[in-house]
Amino acid sequence: MKRVLAILAVSILPAATAGAVLPGRVMGEIPAPGRNVTGLTYGKGLVWAADHRTDTIVGIDASGKVVRSFKSPGYRPAGLAFDGRQLWNVDVLQARLFRIDPDSGLVTRSVPSPVQRPRCLAWDGKALWLSDDAGRTIHRVDPEDGTTIREVPFPSKSVDGLAWDGRYLWIADRLADKLLVMDTDHGEVLFSVNAPGPHASGLAFDGRMLRVADYQTDRIASVARNGDEFLLVEKEKKLWVTFTHQLRNFGPDELVDVEVMLAVPHDSGYQAIGQLRFEPEPAEYRVDRWGQKVAVFRFPRLAAPGKTEIDMIARVQTQRMWFLFYPEQVKPLSRIPRSIRQRYLVDEPKYDIRNPVIRRAVAEAVGRERNPYWIVRGILRHIHRRMHYERIGGWDVAPKVLERGSGSCSEYSYVMISMCRAAGVPARYVGSLVVRKDKASYDDVFHRWVEVYLPGIGWVPVDPSRGDKPTEAERADSFGKVTADFLVTTEGGGGSEFLGWNYNYNERYKCRGRCRVEVEPIAEWSPEPPGKSGK
């Protein structure tokens, strides 16, 4: 029986337990039957490999022993597929597809390729899938005459292997060192996993696991297609961060009753907090209606010119987080706990979920879809097609942002949350400080994204602004995947009584007369503790 991790209503699921199997895990490997494998498939209990150096097609058993071998029909064999009875082989030079009896090695059919530079091949039970390096497309091909039934663009940088697992098309990309899972009905990548080697050159599915040939290591790896858990957390960066909040009063009059609120980060799938302190000490800690803890600092008077300065200093281990699951693992909307529906399906001023603009967008994006997974992916696709990233100042309400067609990360998040809630999918946001690539860096922009609740899975991160990219693989990385470049400080479902619609920080004050106030928040990252290396 498949083991599913316990769902937490207020946080991301815990990481996979030690020894857990997840999709993409390497389960074993055997030697390749040659040094130039350019195609791979599975059939009749054997792994079949095409070698373009020796112009042979070889069948090997589970140990890697050669059981059958015969000459390929052409002089540049590439992709292989098995249709349940016979093999199919692509010849690159002739641009033809050959059907071959695996027992005798005799060619039983030859059809022209519908593309100029054919290479990789797979069989989906009724038709062939064929990659075209020239057009950067993947074609579903009629095996009777070689005509194209439909085509989809390359989802990533390169296509170096194809395999059909009975439901989805797997794609090997040697340039990105990834294996991608594509739903061909929707034309979208579900997720990707790391390739087991540096140069994938063939891909097959044996009914249980994927087989991946590597041109550089001359090995064939067995890779898990399914898992008994679905969340992978990888520890990555250990850094110090000092988040400084300065409030300056340029006057000419004084401020009174100044309050500064800083969001307090905690351990989660995103991060592990080693040390955390504030300078000065906060007056008190409070918890808002979303469960967010905040540190409250009070300054009764602030003359002009004058400033307040608060530091939050933390030792952080940031973590890379991948959700690896299939749409069919998501339960119906009716399985959402009542407590989550009551908190994360309600309207908020920034969302305006009953606005006709939002209603029309949801109807167009979702249609009659019932699976919560595809509801969310449809909304994400709709946003990517109609918006582009632009910081123009301020955070408008979701309908206005969608009509304008551009927005910041916060505005993308408002639109995503609004549409998800209108469609019946609970959604909330998280806010963060960002590691700007280098270990010693600073951040004064920050970042916000969305979490959606998928029944049977839990809270899953979705980053609509970062997923606004040109390829399907890049867009898929915005769903269920977060890099180790963030310290999440804030979790919220809407306006907070302490942070308002801000994240990371907020402030309140009163002025006796005329005051010009400026707030400067900045996060300084360093591999060394504060005070060393000039940080």
Amino acid identity, residue 307?
A: K
pLDDT at 237 over 90: no
Per-residue pLDDT reduced to its tens digit, 462-509:
999 988 888 999 999 999 999 999 999 999 999 999 999 999 999 999
Residue 154 maps to a domain: yes
- Rounded Cα distance between 168 and 163, Å, is 8
Residue 10 maps to a domain: no
Of 161, 196, 226, at which residue does a domain stop? 226
- Do residue 400 and residue 345 come from a single domain? yes
- Do residue 414 and residue 513 come from a single domain? yes
pLDDT at 193 over 70: yes
94 CB burial (10 A radius; 0-12, 13-18, 19+): middle
- Do residue 305 and residue 217 come from a single domain? no
Q: Are 12 and 270 in contact (CB under 8 A)?
A: yes
> What 8-state DSSP symbol labels residue 88?
E
- Do residue 215 and residue 168 come from a single domain? yes
- Do residue 211 and residue 269 come from a single domain? no
- Do residue 216 and residue 304 come from a single domain? no
- Do residue 461 and residue 388 come from a single domain? yes
Predicted confidence at residue 103, as pLDDT, reads: 96
Q: Are 299 and 308 in contact (CB under 8 A)?
A: yes
Residue 221 maps to a domain: yes
The SS3 call for residue 151 is strand
Q: Which domain holds residue 34?
A: 26-226
Domain count of the fold of the chain? 2
Mean pLDDT of 390-407: 93
| CATH at residue 218 | 2.130.10.10
Nearest to 525 by CA among 282, 317, 270: 317
Per-residue pLDDT reduced to its tens digit, 15-42:
555 567 899 999 999 999 999 999 999 9
- Rounded Cα distance between 531 and 535, Å, is 5
Residue 33 maps to a domain: yes
- Do residue 313 and residue 441 come from a single domain? yes
- Do residue 35 and residue 112 come from a single domain? yes
**Using N-to-C axis directions, what is the helix angle for 409-422 and 356-366, rounded to 10°?**
70
Residue 7 maps to a domain: no
Residue 32 maps to a domain: yes
Per-residue pLDDT reduced to its tens digit, 279-292:
999 999 999 999 99
Taking the CA atoms of residue 388, residue 393, residue 399 and residue 404 in that order, the dihedral angle to the nearest 10 degrees is: -50
Residue 333 maps to a domain: yes
The order of strands in the sheet holding 26-31 is 26-31, 219-224, 209-214, 200-205
Whether a cis peptide bond, with omega within 30° of 0, leads into 305 is yes
| CATH at residue 253 | 3.10.620.30
- Do residue 220 and residue 240 come from a single domain? no
CA 296 to chain CA centroid, Å, is 35
Integer CA distances (angstroms), 482 to 292, 386, 460, 509, in order: 21, 23, 10, 36
Residue 511 maps to a domain: yes
**Which residues are within 8 A (CB) of 252 and not within 5 positions of it... i.e. 6 or more apart?**
304, 513, 514, 515
- Rounded Cα distance between 292 and 502, Å, is 12
Q: Using 50, 70 and 90 to split pLDDT, how confident is the model at 392? A: confident
pLDDT at 360 over 70: yes
CA 216 to chain CA centroid, Å, is 28
Nearest to 210 by CA among 177, 174, 170, 183: 170
Q: Which two tokens stand for residue 116?
A: 């100029």
How high does pLDDT run on average in the chain?
94
Q: Using 50, 70 and 90 to split pLDDT, how confident is the model at 394? A: confident
Of 226, 246, 264, at which residue does a domain stop? 226
- Do residue 156 and residue 92 come from a single domain? yes
- Do residue 57 and residue 118 come from a single domain? yes
Per-residue pLDDT reduced to its tens digit, 379-388:
999 999 999 9
Of 193, 226, 259, at which residue does a domain stop? 226
Q: Are 81 and 40 in contact (CB under 8 A)?
A: no
What does the angle CA 354 – CA 360 – CA 362 come to, to the nearest 5 degrees? 80
